[in-house]
Every structure is written in structure tokens, then in C-alpha cells.
Amino acid sequence: VRDSVGAHIHLTQKLFKESLLKGGDMLDHLNFMKNCFQVLNEKEIIFSELHQVYIIISSLDESYDDYVSSLEVLTKNELTLTEITGRLLEEARRRQDRDQLREKKPQEESLWSNAYTVRKCFSCGDRGHIARFCKKGRQQNTV
């Protein structure tokens, strides 16, 4: 492995240019970032833990802006790599679960809306409604 100034600059650029794409895998992203920090550390380019946290947070896409704002209440002592990576993984899991639920809901709604189009009225025999909502049946009963 090269140990020149150019190699150090290249590694540092790689770290700072890395960003989590919308819908990207958070675990892969965090592992990449930690690996970059480790390689740079071996080359004696050392970032403090707090700076590592700031760099990771800065690499998140815009959809995490509100989440990052919620981290502002934490003290510097609470901004550890372990704490932040745990929180980010949990947030990514929560978002993934929410997205899966959103994909599931339209299917359930379409099943529900098809239920009345398939049903047959016992009062008049037409499809699309049930006897309780039958207008023809009510008209026959009132005459």
C-alpha cells in the first residue's frame, strides 16, 4: 500500500465524498466509513471520535435532516461512535419497516375495494352492493 501524501489525500477525499444515497444500506455505509477511518488511522491521519461522528452524520442524505436535528439535544459526551451508529441503524430499520408497511397498505385497500364489486345483492340480484344498501329493494318494500 502506498504511503505517500497523494495516497493520504486520496483516502481522505474518498472519506469526505462518501454519502449515503436515499434508500441506501446504512450498515454498509457505516462499515465503509469505519473502514476508511481505520485505514487513515493506520497511516497516522487521526480523527477524534467526535470528528468521526460529525463526518458520519454529514454523510447522510437529506432525508435524515430532521433526524440529525433531533441529535442536537445530545451532549458531546453522548456523541460516541457506538451511540450514533446504534441510533442510525435503529432509524434505518424503522424507515425500512415504515416503507414496507406503505407498500403493503395499497394492496389491502385494493382487496377491500374489490369486495363490494364482487358481491351480489340478495334482494335484487345485482352485483356491486349488498341487500342492506339496495335501493331497488327499499323501493319495492315501500310500494
- Residues 72 and 112 both lie in one domain: no
* 47 has pLDDT over 80: yes
- Residues 41 and 85 both lie in one domain: yes
Say how far apart CA 143 and CA 141 lie, in whole Å: 6
R_g (Cα) of the chain, nearest Å:
28
- Residues 27 and 63 both lie in one domain: yes
pLDDT digits (tens, 9 = 90+) for 101-136: 887 766 655 555 555 557 888 888 888 888 888 888
- Residues 13 and 77 both lie in one domain: yes
* 41 has pLDDT over 60: yes
Q: What is the domain range of residue 113?
A: 108-138
Say how far apart CA 78 and CA 28 lie, in whole Å: 23
In a domain, residue 143? The reply is: no
* pLDDT confidence tier of residue 55, bands split at 50, 70 and 90: very high
In a domain, residue 114? The reply is: yes
Question: For the chain, what is the domain count?
Answer: 2
* 57 has pLDDT over 60: yes
* 83 has pLDDT over 80: yes
- Residues 55 and 117 both lie in one domain: no
- Residues 46 and 77 both lie in one domain: yes
Say how far apart CA 127 and CA 124 lie, in whole Å: 9
Say how far apart CA 126 and CA 44 lie, in whole Å: 80
Residues 6+ apart with CB under 8 A from 119: 127, 128, 129, 130
- Residues 99 and 117 both lie in one domain: no
In a domain, residue 40? The reply is: yes
* Residue 118 confidence (pLDDT): 75
Say how far apart CA 112 and CA 49 lie, in whole Å: 52
* 137 has pLDDT over 90: no
- Residues 46 and 114 both lie in one domain: no
> Whole-prediction pTM value?
0.66
* Out of 13-22, 69-78, 134-143, least confident range: 134-143
Span 5-18, average pLDDT: 91
- Residues 57 and 125 both lie in one domain: no
- Residues 22 and 34 both lie in one domain: yes
Percent share of the chain, pLDDT over 70? 85
